[in-house]
Structure 1
Amino acid sequence: MEARVPAQPILIRISSELLFAFNSAELTPEGQSKLQRVADYLKQTGEVTATIEGHTDSIGEDAYNQKLSELRARAVAQWLDGAGGVPGQRMKVRAFGESRPIVPQSGDPDLERLNRRVEIRIEGVR
């Protein structure tokens, strides 16, 4: 009998620029291709769950950015559940808007683009 051990969490960070057009929550073909690799990994691993987190930059209204981050995270989860073949019960969605930047919020579009992202946290037993 093989022992099951908790695995170290895995963080997959994907730039929103690769997944979506600017100011959109509709996945691009390139974004779908990136997500297919994530789906393939999730389907071949053990009992893992994925938390899909949407993030935005600080440009624009807080409420709008919060909603956009939620729509983007849901779009990723829906794609993984549908076309990707990952059971929806293995995923949860969280939206953080502009509240968790990875670079300082400066208002500089070139720098702030790094804050526009989707993070997929994979945790569980492998």
Structure 2
Amino acid sequence: MTRTARPLALTVAAALALSACGNTPLGSQLDEGGFGNPTMNNILYHSGELQYAEVLSERFAREVPTTINFAFNSATLDEEARAVLRQQAAFIRHFPEVRFSVYGHTDLVGSRAYNHRLGLRRARAAVDFLVSQGIDRSRLEALVSFGESQPLVATEAEERRNRRTVTEVSGFVATNPLVLDGRYAQIVYRSYTTGGGGGGGS
């Protein structure tokens, strides 16, 4: 192929490839509905935020019970659930730079729409109790998931272990001075003792 013919051949090949796409916008096959997420996660990873949030999440799960359970068709907190939430609140108070999410789940009994409402009521009940323990509501988010999608026990019968909320670290408070300075390690590796009443953090 001559030197002048090569660019022409490449242009024709590119035109054919584009015409084969029809009316599909270029790059649309790459967008799965969260087009900016890879870039955002990349930034969070390189700043350390994503990595340290994961480390703190693992620490939270290791040091504090993250799950409470509910009676059938109920969003009422029993004494066992309140005791667990008090432990969670002590940990959360100790890390005022951190945000948390509470996920509500149901078992497989009932309609999807009803379980959606019930799961959200459970998450909100847990968040309300944490707020009553001195946690700023702006650091907590009540979310919902379905027993249908994330059961611990695969059964269509009533199952207490599926009727739960799970509390997780979701990130850092963007306006906190330590976060603004990128001093995530100072937050994550702060000493914490469960017997000290939770402390106020520093």
TM class by shorter chain equals 0.7 to 0.9
1-structure distance, mates of 2:163, 2:153: 10
Is residue 2:79 matched to residue 1:34? no
SS in 2 for 1:68: helix
Q: Please list the CA deviations of residues 58-93 of structure 1 after superposition, one character each: whole Å capped at 9, or x if unmatched.
A: 1111111111100000000011012x1111011111
Supply the distance in 2 between the matched residues of 1:122 and 1:70 (Cα, whole angstroms).
18
Question: 1:115 and 1:13 mapped to 2: Cα distance?
Answer: 14
Alignment of 1:18-33 (within 5 A): 20-33=70-83
- Looking at structure 2, the residues matched to 59 and 21 of structure 1 have their Cα atoms a distance apart, in angstroms, of 13
Which residue does the alignment assign to 2:160? 113
User: What is the letter of the counterpart of residue 117 of structure 2?
Assistant: K
Aligned to 2:85, what secondary structure does the other structure show? helix
Is contact 1:13-1:117 (8 Å) kept? Answer: no
Task: Could you tell me which runs of 5 or more consecutive residues in structure 2 were left unpaired when the two chains were aligned.
Answer: 1-47, 173-183, 188-202
Give the TM-score normalised by the residue count of structure 2. Answer: 0.52
Contact kept, 8 Å, 1:56 with 1:117, in 2: the verdict is yes
Question: 2 CA distance for matches of 1:15 and 1:42?
Answer: 16
| Alpha-carbon shift at residue 114 of structure 1 (Å) | 2.4
Supply the distance in 1 between the matched residues of 2:139 and 2:77 (Cα, whole angstroms). Answer: 21
- Asked whether 1:102 is paired with 2:149, we answer no
Q: Which has the higher strand share?
A: 1
Number of residue pairs matched by the alignment: 116
Whether the 8 Å CA contact 1:67–1:97 is kept in 2: the answer is: no
Equivalent position of 1:53 in the other structure: 103
Tell me, in whole angstroms, the C-alpha distance in 1 between the residues paired with 2:153 and 2:168: 19
Q: Compute the RMSD of aligned alpha carbons.
A: 2.1
2:124 partner letter: R
Q: Deviations over 1:29-82 (max 9, x none)?
A: 221111101000100124111100001111111111111100000000011012
Is 1:74 paired with 2:124? yes
The aligned amino acid for 2:144 is: A
Contact 2:68 2:84 in 1 (8 A): no
Cα distance between partner residues in 1 of 2:75 and 2:151:
19
Deviates most, 54-63 or 71-80:
54-63
Gaps of 5+ in 1: none
Task: Detail structure 1 runs of 4+ shifted over 6 Å in the superposition.
Answer: none
Give % identity.
32
With a CA cutoff of 8 Å and minimum separation of 6, indicate the structure with the bigger relative contact order.
1
Letter in 2 for 1:79: F
Specify the structure having the higher radius of gyration (Cα). 2
Task: Return the TM-score normalized by structure 1.
Answer: 0.79
Equivalent AA in structure 2 for residue 100 of structure 1:
Q
